[in-house]
Amino acid sequence: MIRYFLQVLQASLGALLLAAMLLALDLKTRAASAVSGRKDGKKERGAAPFCLAGIAAALAPAFLRRATAVNMGKISTFTAALLCAAGLVFIAAALTRRPAAPRSAGYGAAVFTGRVLLFLLPFYALPAVFFYPTEFLLAGESAFSTDFLFKCAGFLAGLCLSLLAAFTLYRTGRSLGRALVFILCPALFINIIQLLCAVLQFLFARRVIPMNRTLFRLITPALNNGIIFLFLILAVCAAAPVLAFVRTFHRSGTWRNPAERRKARALLRRKRRLAVTLALSFAFAFCSLTVLKAFTERDVELSPAESYTLSGNEIIIPLEKIEDGHLHRFNYSASDSIGMRFIIIKKNESAYGVGLDACDICGPTGYYERKDGVICRLCDVVMNRATIGFRGGCNPVPLAYTMRSGNMVIQTEKLEAERSRFK
């Protein structure tokens, strides 16, 4: 649950915040254009359809990644390059545009590139989010299991927090006017730097441009610590609730009657609550991506290996050692000195779950016991005890065994055949 909450939050928050500010700024742009008047009588088209089109288009890469073997690296790299170009043009146009001349060339460039960005931002960021639900149901699992419901809950919680932050930023940005430009442009520039690092990595890897060791050393920390860019965007966007909150204490104007005065005060209170909500959503997102992420990614120590008797090509384990219903771990040294682990747990009165301490999906990361559950150390999936010993999903790779004279007997050749999993 927590894993998908954090993954969705990290993948979607930055793009949605930038899109929210672009939408709010587009509203102010259209309002300025309306004030200046249009002789042709036509209305300015809003930018929301471009954002919705980008969200809808993001479904296609997610579907192709799931249903085909198409390499999405080229598509995402090309999209990132377009984002960098459109973002730089938008920043230049937005910072040089004169509010008194809404029909100038700078205005047109800002509007066009802003709408391109509104399409490309969700198209680049959201395919990964849309792909996550395809991982919820592993082979042999039921859609009515607790684990599936927890995954869905974590996914929806991460998406809801991102949408809440984006919506409140949009509502707050509508009241900031020109100041929103000086919040959006630095945040967008930070995003461009991150995208540019990803594009350069792709070009270096494909030998499209010659390798430059100095430049590669500069972009490596950015590639390995991508979440830092999200924190920087959050830090820049934090100016929006602070500025909006401060502005609510500077009341001006005159009122014709007490009713108008009460209405103005109510509007200020709503703006103040909106700014507080935005600040709290930012704080919760930051804490989730730092404290909660560190807590969930902490290393879990595997239980120590237990002893057994090795007789020729047979591993002999007395049943009395594994009768307690808890997870038991054993080590085996393969013929080429590769250390292998296997686990045993009693599932019920007549059945045992025996398998490697590894699975087909997560590799040899291992399993541990938490309360009454057996948990994968990498993906935090809770194993269904009844399915341990069978192939499918994140279950341990099954290991054949026999019973003899009150002992469990495992042939070493069965372990030798799987030693490549622990290399």
- What are the C-alpha distances in Å from 87 to residues 108, 195, 200, 281? 14, 11, 17, 26
Q: What is the pLDDT of residue 39?
A: 44
- Report yes or no on whether pTM surpasses 0.85: no
More confident residue, 34 or 368: 368
Q: What is the pLDDT of residue 20?
A: 93
Instruction: Indicate the residue type of 381.
Output: V
Q: Is 71 helix (H, G, I), strand (E, B) or coil?
A: coil
More confident residue, 166 or 140: 166
Least trusted range by pLDDT, from 14-18, 110-114, 207-211: 207-211
Q: Is 359 helix (H, G, I), strand (E, B) or coil?
A: strand
What is the spatial order of strands in the sheet that 382-383 belongs to?
A: 367-370, 373-376, 382-383
Give CATH for domain 309-422. Answer: 2.102.10
Is the pLDDT at 8 greater than 60, yes or no? yes
What is the spatial order of strands in the sheet that 339-346 belongs to?
A: 328-333, 339-346, 352-356
Alpha-carbon gap, residue 6 to 155, rounded angstroms: 8
HSE-up (13 A, CA, CB side) for residue 30:
17
Domain segments of the chain as ranges:
2-37+44-296, 309-422
Alpha-carbon gap, residue 267 to 418, rounded angstroms: 68
- What are the C-alpha distances in Å from 265 to residues 55, 103, 222, 252? 37, 35, 46, 11
Alpha-carbon gap, residue 307 to 330, rounded angstroms: 7
- What are the C-alpha distances in Å from 366 to residues 111, 170, 327, 380? 53, 45, 12, 11
pLDDT tens for each residue of 102-118: 555 567 788 888 889 99
Q: What is the pLDDT of residue 335?
A: 81
Alpha-carbon gap, residue 115 to 50, rounded angstroms: 6
Q: What is the pLDDT of residue 114?
A: 87
Is the pLDDT at 43 greater than 50, yes or no? no
Q: How confident is the model at residue 206 (pLDDT cuts 50, 70, 90)?
A: confident
β-pairing verdict for 339-346 and 352-356: antiparallel
pLDDT tens for each residue of 230-261: 999 999 999 999 998 988 887 666 777 788 78
Task: Say if residues 343 and 410 touch (Cβ distance below 8 Å).
Answer: no
Alpha-carbon gap, residue 32 to 219, rounded angstroms: 40
Q: How confident is the model at residue 7 (pLDDT cuts 50, 70, 90)?
A: confident
